[in-house]
Amino acid sequence: MTSPAPVHVVDHPLVQHKLTLLRKKDLSTSSFRRLLHEISMLMAYEVTRDMPTQMIEIETPLEKMQSPVIEGRKTVFVVVMRAGSGFLDGMLEVVPGARVGHIGLYRDPKTLVAVEYYFKMPHDMDERDAIVLDPMLATGNSAVAAVDRLKETRPKSIRFVSLVAAPEGVDNMQRHHPDVPIFTAAIDRELNDHGYIVPGLGDAGDRLFGTK
């Protein structure tokens, strides 16, 4: 059996510093939103690090030169609603030409199983590299369901980006989707009985939108 795609823990000091601030329970909604935005920009660098480049000829004010540009690949950010949208604007600042798809899933509070309520992708998914955005990789059930559904559209590649992951969620993703690399800023200790990541940061959607 081939080993699963790697888990990249983004340990850049700026990301780690901002994540620490983000975890604090007394942080305001606006500060939470701003920090998540900043972290998502920084994580965009990591998740796009191995994008292939090609050399083109350009002319500086002084002379002609060969210089690299990203190959004509197309990216689609796939937002897992609703917390995934907190990751989107920062990513789009770094990759402004990307398209955006949305997957709406909610967790059944009793079974913790993911139920789909919305799905909208660009038409040309088979020409695109997909980057799935879901800040909390908890049980992994919604992540697995989102990627299952996404694979039906046959994107060229899939990467999964979270902010905080639980070991259980990482295992679940690697069992079901060993071909999908995971990028995260932290792998926390465990899940609690309600499926929350501990120590975690609470409900990312509620903190992002101020709904609690």
User: Which one of 122-130, 145-153, 154-162, 196-204 is the stretch in contact with ligand URA (CB under 6 A)?
Assistant: 196-204
C-alpha separations of 127 from 16, 53, 107 in Å: 34, 17, 31
Enumerate residues 80-99 that contact ligand URA by CB under 6 A: 83
Q: In the beta sheet, which residues pair with residue 158?
A: 130
Is beta strand 74-81 parallel, antiparallel or unpaired with respect to 128-133? parallel
Stretch that binds ligand URA, among 28-36, 72-80, 149-157, 193-201 (CB under 6 A): 193-201
**200 is a contact residue toward ligand URA (CB under 6 A):** yes
Nearer to ligand URA, 18 or 23 (CB): 23
Return the number of the residue (135 or 155) whose C-beta is nearest ligand URA: 135
The catalytically annotated residue of 26, 49, 111, 126 is: 111
Q: How many other C-beta atoms can be found within 10 angstroms of the C-beta atom of residue 195?
A: 16
Is the distance from CB of 118 to CB of 149 less than 8 angstroms? no
Residue 79 within binding range of ligand URA, rule CB under 6 A: no
196 near ligand URA (CB under 6 A)? yes
Interface with ligand URA includes 138 (CB under 6 A)? Answer: yes
How many chain residues interact with ligand URA (CB under 6 A)?
Answer: 10
CA distance 41 to 142: 24
Element (H or E) spanning 131, and its range?
strand 128-133
- Cis geometry, peptide bond prior to residue 199 (ω within 30 degrees of 0): yes
Single out the residue of 111, 110, 87, 112 nearest to residue 100, CA to CA: 87
Q: Which of these segments, 12-20, 40-48, 73-81, 197-205, binds ligand URA (CB under 6 A)?
A: 197-205
**Residue pair 147/177 in contact by the 8 Å Cβ criterion:** yes
Residue 206 is a catalytic residue:
yes
User: Pick from 136, 145, 170, 180: which binds ligand URA (CB under 6 A)?
Assistant: 136
Q: Which of 34, 82, 99, 107 is catalytic?
A: 107
* Active-site annotation holder among 29, 82, 129, 206: 206
Residues that bind ligand URA (CB under 6 A): 83, 136, 138, 195-197, 200, 203-205
